[in-house]
Structure 1
Amino acid sequence: MPARIAFEFETPRGHRTTSLTYERRGTGAPLLLLHGIGHHWQAWEPVLDVLATERDVIAVDLPGFGASDGLPQGCAYDLTTVTPVLAAFCAALGVDRPHVAGNSLGGLLALQLGREKAVRSVTALSPAGFWNQSERRYAFGTLRAMRGAALSMPVPLIDRLSRTPAGRTALTSTIYARPGRRSPEAVVAETLALREATGFHQTLAAGRTVLFRDDIPSLPVTIAWGTRDRLLLRRQGVRAKQTIPGARLVRLPGCGHVPMNDDPALVARVILDGSATA
């Protein structure tokens, strides 16, 4: 069962308190998993048990997403606020410099934690922050449309659509290359997570000016991109490699923007390999 922990974190205005929900499994070196915008920790379910055979896996709901609290009033959902929250979360669990893997927004946060040397290694799956302006506008417009659709549909309709491969495709094909593989229960849960995400609009607003431009020397970094990513186009992986020349750039054949469901075995191997090089 997921757990919940309350803790303090530092802001320019002093200490604040928040509470995050997380799932923890396995033994070994600690591995923090960070999901994308509008999602929840369950995005990692397809790979959790495999990772837990070799790692102490901690999959967390980011602030304002899933079952976690939103940030306190006056706190922006930007890198300078959310990364200290994640560092304080790890400290509250007694975890020092874990490996980290993140997808999309979570990949950007993972890279930021790597830039701050708060982690041992970074694996970023289709990370945000390597777009040009037209690509960012396209991605943000798509995300707003997905959120609007989730908000407009009654729950019984979402449940009915989730029961057929065609319905699951209609609900999730933007992020999955193989949406028919996702279980009906998972599709319903993540659609509800998208519509109920209290941090969605603030996170998008904070991302308007985000570009990841710094190298991360002396830290193992893996960047992986699905060949069928329809949200953040795979050419952004080339830019990521140019920004972080020492990174290992991995192609994920047949995978979409959230690749953990499309090819669990491959994604788990990429994460385990990336977190074994530290």
Structure 2
Amino acid sequence: MADTVSFPIDTPAGERTVEVVYERLGAGEPLVLLHGIGHHLQVWDPVAGLLAAERDVIAVDLPGFGQSPALPDGIPYGLPGVVPVLGALFEALGIHQPHVAGNSLGGLVALQLGREKLVRSVTAISPAGFWSEAERRYAFGILWALRRGALTLPPGAVARLARTTAGRAAMLSTLYARPGRRTPDSVTAETRAMRESTGFDATLRVGRSVRFTDDIPDIPVTIAWGARDRLLLRRQGVRAKEVIPGARLVRLPGCGHVAMSDDPALTARVILDASR
């Protein structure tokens, strides 16, 4: 069951209130889960129960995605705006330096949280920010196409496509190596989340100039990459290891960009190992 927390953020224009929707389950050391652009917290459903056996799991709808409202005026999208919001969220939820795992955009945010010493360990699954310019343009072209499809396809057509294996493959094969594992309801919900993402356009615009170039000393970092990732190609994991030489680089065989669905058991094991 989703909950909502509200908390204040100071900006140059004065105090603003941010609302974030999250789901929390399990017990143990806190583990925050961050999704990718256009996704929502439910993308973690395949692994949430596995993680909750050992962790206090908090899956978050990032501001402007899922059910979380857009960031208020005065708080920009991008790392300088989102990372302080998440730091304030941790405070509001009563968690100090949680473990964090993120996918894609969420992986990039997780790494920045690690760089700013706001978390105790980082697992980044196919994180953004380690691309060449050509690779960035390629990935952003796919994301814009997914966004256009979500905006233009009537809900009835989405539901019909989601009911067939071929339809799910046509809609999701750039994100999942095994799109047939997604249920029709989850595909419909993901498409709706993409369509209704108020933060999508601003986040992608900011992302044009994003590169992650800083080491993260003194915090355990695991970078995991799907061997069949068709959005952020796996060679970007090698670059990530060069930027963060102390990181553990893990290959996820048979997984695409959103590994949590393609192999939940492997993904959960990687996250739990990283947070031990």
TM-score of Structure 1 vs Structure 2, range by shorter chain: over 0.9
CA distance in 2, matches of 1:185, 1:12: 42
In structure 2, what is the Cα distance between the partners aligned to 1:192 and 1:254? 27
Q: CA deviation at 1:10?
A: 3.0
TM-score after normalising by structure 1? 0.98
Tell me if structure 1 keeps the 8 A contact 2:11–2:74. Answer: no
Match of 2:148 in 1: 148
Structure 2 unmatched ranges of 5 or more = none
| Partner in structure 2 of residue 207 of structure 1 | 207
1:170-216 alpha-carbon deviations (Å, 9 max, x no partner): 11111000000001100000011001100000000111111000000
Taking the aligned partners of 1:84 and 1:11, their CA distance within structure 2 comes to 11
Residue by residue, what CA displacement relative to the aligned partner does 1:57-77 show, whole Å, maximum 9, x if unpaired? 000000000000100123210
Q: Distance in 2 between matches of 1:113 and 1:66?
A: 21
Structure 2 counterpart of 1:50: 50
TM-score after normalising by structure 2: 0.99
The reply on whether 1:170 has 2:170 as its aligned counterpart is yes
The 8 Å contact of residues 10 and 84 in structure 1, kept in 2 or not, is answered as no
Provide the C-alpha distance between the structure 1 equivalents of 2:223 and 2:12, rounded to a whole number of angstroms.
31
Calculate percent identity across the aligned residue pairs.
67
Secondary structure (helix, strand or coil) at the match of 1:209 reads coil
- The whole-number CA distance in structure 2 between the counterparts of 1:177 and 1:90 is 33
Q: Structure 1 CA distance, aligned partners of 2:12 and 2:103? A: 28
In structure 2, the partner of 1:69 is 69
Q: Output the amino acid matched with 1:57.
A: V
Aligned partner of 1:84 in structure 2 is 84
> How far does residue 12 in structure 1 lie from its aligned partner after superposition?
3.8
Return the alpha-carbon distance in structure 2 between the equivalents of residues 111 and 10 of structure 1.
Answer: 23
Q: Aligned partners of 2:74 and 2:238: how far apart in 1? A: 36
Matches within 5 A, 1:263-278: 263-276=263-276
The corresponding residue for 1:183 is 183
Matches within 5 A, 1:1-278: 1-276=1-276
How many residue pairs match? The answer is 276
Shift of 1:11: 2.9
> How far is the alpha carbon of 1:15 from its aligned partner?
2.5
* TM-fit CA distance, 1:264: 0.2
What is the distance in 1 between the residues matched to 2:247 and 2:129?
A: 16
